[in-house]
Amino acid sequence: MPKENLLKVGHARVKQLIKESLDSMPQQEKEERFIVPFTPSIPETEEEIKACIDGTVEVFAEDTEYTEEELRVELVDIINYKSLDIDTSLPARQLQEELRAKLESMSNEELLEAGIFGPTITQEEADETRAEHEKWAYSRIMEVSHIEDIETTVKEVIDEHFSKPLKAYKAIIKRYTKENLDELDKPVKRAEAGELPTTYKEIAEKLGDLGFFNGSELAKHKVIFKAYFKERRLTGPEFRAMMLFRNWIEIENAYKESGDWGEVIATVVYDDLYPQEAFIDYLEFLYQTEIKDVKLLQKITGVTHIDSREKGEWVTPKTEAEAKENAIKELEAILTDARYSKYSRAIERAVNRGAKYKDLLQIKPQEYGLPETWSGHIATDQYSSILWAIRMEFLLDEPGGLMLTPDLRSMAKEMEAPYSVLLDAYNFTSDRKNR
């Protein structure tokens, strides 16, 4: 099988197996992960009701270390969300006692209405959460595959729930590597290393300072992953800039080898953010023009046929009319994703460098060619993009992240941001779990 088809089929197969893994989960676990619709009801026994109250009041597991301030933050969040009449200025332990007393004094109907027996999850909310699970699993499977000895909760979750797609991904990469002269385990070489645009020159210089680029070769893929995920020698923005630079080199090499932009899209760009951003950057640099719309993108590339990705499978259009329509749709997605990637990296880079909240608000999506709102990503507007960047920078997306960072109020003070912004960042994408 040609290498471009091998990888397309392989990635599609991994995504399909992720869907099947979620489908095969026990119903109770699906409900706990909020990936199926759920309508709470009053439990049948007093023991079950007490367990629900205990689960609300005891916000941390027994073996979890936490500070009094962290406990207070969690309790205040619960009290405010459930609109309970409790004085939130009380010390943490007293606040916890007041919360328990309040819940125990409420009728079962009142507890149900307050969400103590679980939140109501609509089909739309369940679908949205499931899509987030699928994206998370897909990205983490690649991470775990490249760092065999990584020891994290992430690996445990992947091993337990997504072992089949993980095995499939490892198999496809092993076959690809064998058939393509160990390309994935060799430094990436620049073909006739020519001029670079300013942004990529800066990235190249930074990578040179870090010892990952010598002017013509970029470090091995596994070396890059290990430096970031295990050794923590790279910041998040540095890692993403390195991956962007790697994609630039791969696109440069692929086009010089084939001279066909359609093949470059099929073999290098796919539907991943960084290759898409690098692809648009490379085109704009090569042709010295700003690509403002899909019409110009199609004119430059000459691409009139792209297979589409539907429900995890690659589908070839049956007619010329379908092919033309699908090409426009896929190119539009590439252009939008490239803009989103560039914008989100700008926000993330600013947070990493200590920007204040007011500074983040000045980084407008419109300056990157995005509308006020968009779809297809976890962040869909300026505010959610800021929340996601804060969440990633302060490890709020990782289990136990708050154990490694200052408390939320200190973060808010440092960023000169409303406390509600840090709470929103902490609850972002997992807010149903914390309610």
* pTM to 2 decimal places: 0.59
More reliable by pLDDT, 46 or 190: 46
Checking if the pLDDT of 217 tops 90, the result is: no
Return the pLDDT at 398: 56
Q: Average of pLDDT values for 129-137? A: 83
Q: How confident is the model at residue 339 (pLDDT cuts 50, 70, 90)?
A: very high
Return the pLDDT at 110: 92
Return the pLDDT at 434: 38
Return the pLDDT at 308: 62
Cα 230–234–239 angle (5° rounding)? 100
Checking if the pLDDT of 90 tops 50, the result is: yes
Q: How confident is the model at residue 157 (pLDDT cuts 50, 70, 90)?
A: confident
CA 240 to chain centre: 12
Could you report the per-residue pLDDT of 186-202, keeping only the tens digit for each? 677 776 556 788 888 88
More reliable by pLDDT, 130 or 156: 130
Q: Average of pLDDT values for 87-93? A: 90
More reliable by pLDDT, 261 or 179: 261
Return the pLDDT at 5: 54
More reliable by pLDDT, 394 or 432: 394
| Token reading at 130 | 């499931």
Checking if the pLDDT of 311 tops 50, the result is: no
The count of C-alpha atoms lying within 13 angstroms of the C-alpha of 390, restricted to the half-sphere facing its C-beta, is 31
Strands in 300-409 per DSSP E: 308-310, 313-315
Return the pLDDT at 152: 60
Q: What is the mean pLDDT of the chain?
A: 81
Could you report the per-residue pLDDT of 229-268, keeping only the tens digit for each? 667 778 888 888 888 898 898 898 888 888 888 888 877 8
> Positive or negative CA dihedral for 66, 68, 74, 78?
positive
Checking if the pLDDT of 28 tops 70, the result is: yes
Q: Average of pLDDT values for 134-149? A: 68
Checking if the pLDDT of 95 tops 80, the result is: yes
Could you report the per-residue pLDDT of 104-126, keeping only the tens digit for each? 999 999 999 988 998 889 999 89
Q: How confident is the model at residue 154 (pLDDT cuts 50, 70, 90)?
A: low
Return the pLDDT at 193: 54
- Listing DSSP states for 238-305 in one string gives HHHHHHHHHHHHHHHHHHHHH--HHHHIIIIITT-HHHHHHHHHHHHHHHTS---SHHHHHHHH----
Q: Average of pLDDT values for 418-434? A: 71
Determine the residue type at 337. Answer: D
- Listing DSSP states for 32-91 in one string gives HTT-S-B-----SSHHHHHHHHHHHH--S-TT----HHHHHHHHHHHHHHTT----TTS-
Checking if the pLDDT of 178 tops 70, the result is: no
Return the pLDDT at 343: 94
Query: Would you give the DSSP letter of residue 395?
Result: T
Return the pLDDT at 147: 53
More reliable by pLDDT, 136 or 79: 79
Q: With pLDDT > 90 as the criterion, what percentage of the chain qualifies?
A: 25
Q: Which residues contact residue 413 at a Cβ distance below 8 angstroms, ignoring those fewer than 6 apart?
A: none
Could you report the per-residue pLDDT of 341-394, keeping only the tens digit for each? 999 999 999 998 899 999 999 999 999 999 999 887 888 899 999 999 998 887
Return the pLDDT at 255: 87
By the 8 A CB rule, do 334 and 279 touch? yes
Q: How confident is the model at residue 134 (pLDDT cuts 50, 70, 90)?
A: confident
